[in-house]
Amino acid sequence: MHRIAQIFLFSVTTTLASSCADDSGPPAVATLSLTLATPGFDACYEAGFPNGDLHELCGPVGEISVACDPRLGNVRVTLRRTRSVDERQYDLVVADPCGQAGCALDVGCDTGPTEVVFALANDRTGADWTDSHVALSAGSAGAKFRTCVDDGEPLRLLQTTPDGPRHATALLHFVAAIERQYPATVFAAAPVVSCANNVRCDLALADSSEGNPPDETPSLRQASCTDGTSLSYKVFHGSEPHPESANHESRYLTIAINLDDLADQGHVDCQVTHAATLAAAPIALGAADVFPVLATYGPLLDADGAIICTELSTDDYTYEDPAILGVEFMRGWNLAPLGETWRGVLPLCTSFDGAAVTSLCD
């Protein structure tokens, strides 16, 4: 049994009062309106303002008004989740887009409404899937990262020729369970392998030569690295009936990376970065939006060029390491987390609709 993380959306809307050009009129006021669209789930957020006032908003709706000075141009508010109403009841471990330190948001004074859309993820136990999954509004998804087999030996899977030897392989795996009656698409970032000495290898997912029949082995690809070397890899993708539900289908996107290429060419201190999510529409982040993705920061080779042995999946009971594989958040430019490293994720500009991988990247 694995955990399942559910993604909920809520919006924060600030509505500013009319201009205070007329000193005899009412003062300018910034109003913070919190609306939670979370069926069966409530949360509490603390809103802090520059004047030191702290306000807690709980439940599906809350509203605060504070005075603002149009001459200053902005009102700074810090949003921090203080608790979830039903955390004890369901034994939840919530992944918060703002983190423990909160998020800072600049709200214009007397310039019109400002809207913030958050995504909140909570890990819920009791999900009976073949892999651990994260539940989103468009379906559920899971991720795996592997460089070794169970006995600690390198995973040897990738072949550069059909009858050639198998090479040490790193696997990035993303699978989504989608209800057949609802349209949904996987949005992914092109994996990036980075090594010491500023070496970078970009692994394209989309390829104009794709369109292989489901049973045909994908062709080997070559990624050019910034130091003039190359890295071979394969991209596997397709759709199949879901093993647990006739109303769902499973869509998978798997990248196999040749680790022997990296080691044989003398690369050290290597890792791969990748991110993917599932959505009912293209992801277009606004000024203060947050959207969750499954992100991988997978170690490949150590300082001596030896393979770093890793095998884990999202929210696995036996081995959890959110620094390698977990829920990350894409953030709009006007919403900044405080006091924590903001790595972010690569642009999710490649789409997979169950049949074809299409690049939307510039």
Q: How many CB atoms neighbour CB 348 within 10 A?
A: 23
SS3 content of the chain, % helix, strand, coil (to 5): 5, 55, 45
pLDDT value of position 114:
72
pLDDT value of position 10:
42
b/e burial code for range 90-120 (CB count within 10 A of at least 16 → b): eebebbbbbbeebbbbbbbbbeeebebbbbb
Beta strands in 180-247 (DSSP E): 185-188, 192-195, 199-202, 221-224, 230-241
pLDDT value of position 202:
95
Q: How many CB atoms neighbour CB 19 within 10 A?
A: 11
pLDDT value of position 197:
94
> Which residue matches tokens 């006739």?
246
* pLDDT (tens digit per residue) in 200-244: 999 999 875 554 555 567 889 999 999 999 999 999 998 888 877
Residue 19 reports pLDDT greater than 50:
no
pLDDT value of position 125:
35
Residue 130 reports pLDDT greater than 60:
no
- CATH number assigned to the domain with residue range 2-20+27-125, chosen from the 4 options 2.60.40.1970, 3.40.50.300, 3.20.20.70, 3.40.50.720: 2.60.40.1970
- Strands 103-108 and 74-84, by their bridges, are antiparallel
* pLDDT (tens digit per residue) in 148-205: 987 789 999 999 888 889 999 999 999 888 888 888 899 999 999 999 999 999 999 9
Mean pLDDT over 64-86 rounds to 81
- Tell me the average pLDDT of the chain: 79
Mean pLDDT over 249-277 rounds to 94
Residue 54, C-beta contacts closer than 8 angstroms, at least 6 positions apart: 46, 47, 48
**Given pLDDT bands bounded at 50, 70 and 90, which one contains residue 115?**
confident
Domain ranges of the chain: 2-20+27-125, 129-283+291-328+345-359
